[in-house]
Structure 1
Amino acid sequence: METEKKGILLESGTNELEIVEFEVGSNKFGINVIKVKEIIQPMNVTFIPHAHPHVEGIIQLRGEVLPVVDMLKVLGISNAQRNPQQKYIVAEFNKQRVVFHVDNVTQIHRISWDQIEKPSDMYQGGSSQVIGVIKYKDEMILLLDFERIMVDINPASSISVEAVKKLGKRERSEKKVVIAEDSPLLRKLLFDTMQEAGYANLDFFENGRDAYDYLETLAKADKNIENQVQIVITDIEMPQMDGHHLTKKIKSHPDLKKLPVIIFSSLITEDLRHKGEEVGAEEQISKPEIAELILRMDQLIL
């Protein structure tokens, strides 16, 4: 896996991603390659009493103790026979490492974010772990929200309003903030924490394309965009247009390029920080460090 990953996505802001396709039961799912550290054979798992029902236990991998999450239980797939090709996907995001137990890992696909459809509210429900549907040949691959899966297991890993309360009362309501974030859960948490931090003038968009179209429309009406919007916050993984591509388009636009952009994502690691730098982001902050995000916003727009 490490060998396969070396040549991927050398250029930032192309609006493309690589996904690892894997199987749970008879269903096909995807995880962004950027999250995947390695794929290994199953190991002996040490049982942990009173652990979350989705956690099988822990393993020791090169001296590091990691939780193992059973994706059959996460996805509510019952009576499925375990595939003899079972694999462990070792992943890293949100400053944590975790192992996902799946039935098989099949292949890697390179696709564009605009090929990924947002799930319909009609069939996904309010607590779905699906963030995108990929139509590939005659099949459908579901892109999973691994951040939500981990928040369900460990709520302490999510964005905390309490962390913002420690910053004290402030008044920022005159500052207009544009936020691109595809997760309904994260939009709600960002709304609550931004309000607590005094930022009340917020415009949310479900993907980078909608956010860019909005900003471009504003710029056509008034080239002095900084009079209308003071800062842009963007996730990376979003259907239609990802955060790196959004940032690149903003920084390539003659009027929008003056806007400061902060990338706020679970994918901010030392290995990947260069991608945000290449597209011109002023700051990159890892979820769930909401207090740090607020402080950097203060510095950039005051």
Structure 2
Amino acid sequence: MAGVLDSVNQRTQLVGQNRLELLLFRLRGKQIYGINVFKVKEVLQCPKLTLLPQRHPVVRGVAHVRGGTIPIMDMGMATGQQGIPTEEIPECFVIITEYNRKTQGFLVSGVERIVNLNWGDMQPPPKGAGPNSYLTAVTRIEDTLIEIIDVEKILAEVAPTRDTVAAEFIDEDVRESVKDKSVLVVDDSSVARRQIVHCMQAVGLKVVTKNNGREALEYLESLVADGSDIRDHLSLMISDVEMPEMDGYTLTTLCKGNPQLQNMFIMLHTSLSGVFNKAMVAKVGADDFMAKFSPDELAQRINEIIRDEPRSE
């Protein structure tokens, strides 16, 4: 166990070609779940929890960790399963993560190990899982099914954030100029896609969505199969980084290496806010990046991109 904890604490980023590392953990039962090590700040034995009045049932309390106070959420309860009994909490573990500019801990029964995989080994959840599933992907390791939790969905339910754009960030001139233009939004989280779609619609853009990099690349290649310019079809692409089958880094690299797609403006939009690898973004040739999720900041930046866009006339 100490080796696993030390390994997590030392890792803040993974540089590779379409690869990721997963921290495997258990809730109450035999099923194994995974979370990207890139989003993990620390793993520790559950510290003493302080109860909060009128807290969300999923929040089992707050903990004081390294000079700060963070909420501790029961991962099992958050995904509709049975929560950890109060008397067992001291024997459990907390995975401290950073998502969407916020730090929070997730209470789990046990931590297993770290595995290194290719995003190509990750598959979308089965269609039968339904729209309310808390999974973004599944994979198999040594004949064991690993389920990847949609943490953004959990956070949106436990601590909802505003996804509407404030009036002062809506530019009517931009809305008029993009009324016939589209943006491609690529994200494996249904919650994240919905948030970005609302924001882009407020800006005035039509929106096409894809669930992962491979779907997006196939769509882009189909648009230019007739020899047309990608900018005749899309104003820009906004892509997540972590996605099954093909991640955002690889998608960007392949687009920038394709003469028919290389002129498309690409923004990487990720919940990896605290450890976001700027050097990696530059290496793959992305035009911009932004940490999730501020609708006003995103709208303001898209307005700037549209205003700076070269005019074809």
Write out aligned runs for 1:1-302 (5 A): 1=5, 3=7, 5-6=10-11, 9-11=14-16, 14-26=17-29, 27-78=31-82, 82=88, 86-122=92-128, 124-156=129-161, 160-163=163-166, 166-169=169-172, 170-171=175-176, 172-200=178-206, 202-269=207-274, 271-301=276-306, 302=309
CA root-mean-square deviation: 2.2
Change (3 A) 1:257 1:269: farther
Residue type matched to 2:126 in 1? Answer: S
- What is the count of residue pairs matched by the alignment? 296
State the identity %. Answer: 30
The CA distance in 1 between the partners of 2:270 and 2:281, in whole Å, is: 11
Shift of 1:226: 1.9
Shift of 1:24: 0.4
Q: Which moved more, 1:269-278 or 1:44-53?
A: 269-278
Shift of 1:288: 1.1
Structure 2 unmatched ranges of 5 or more: none
Shift of 1:146: 0.7
The CA distance in 1 between the partners of 2:94 and 2:288, in whole Å, is: 33
Shift of 1:271: 4.6
Shift of 1:2: 5.3
Residue type matched to 1:299 in 2? Answer: E
Shift of 1:128: 1.6
Change (3 A) 1:85 1:136: farther
What's the TM-score, normalizing by structure 2?
0.87
Residue type matched to 2:114 in 1? Answer: I
Q: Is the Cα contact below 8 Å between 2:14 and 2:38 reproduced in 1?
A: no
The CA distance in 2 between the partners of 1:8 and 1:294, in whole Å, is: 28
Residue type matched to 2:92 in 1? Answer: Q
Shift of 1:242: 1.1
Q: Is the Cα contact below 8 Å between 1:164 and 1:291 reproduced in 2?
A: no
Shift of 1:165: 6.4
Q: Is the Cα contact below 8 Å between 1:164 and 1:290 reproduced in 2?
A: no
Any idea what the Cα deviations from partners look like across 1:88-137, whole Å, max 9, x if unmatched?
A: 11111100000111111110111112211211232x23222111111111
Q: Which moved more, 1:112-121 or 1:186-195?
A: 186-195
Change (3 A) 1:274 1:215: same
What's the TM-score, normalizing by structure 1?
0.90
Structure 1 unmatched ranges of 5 or more: none
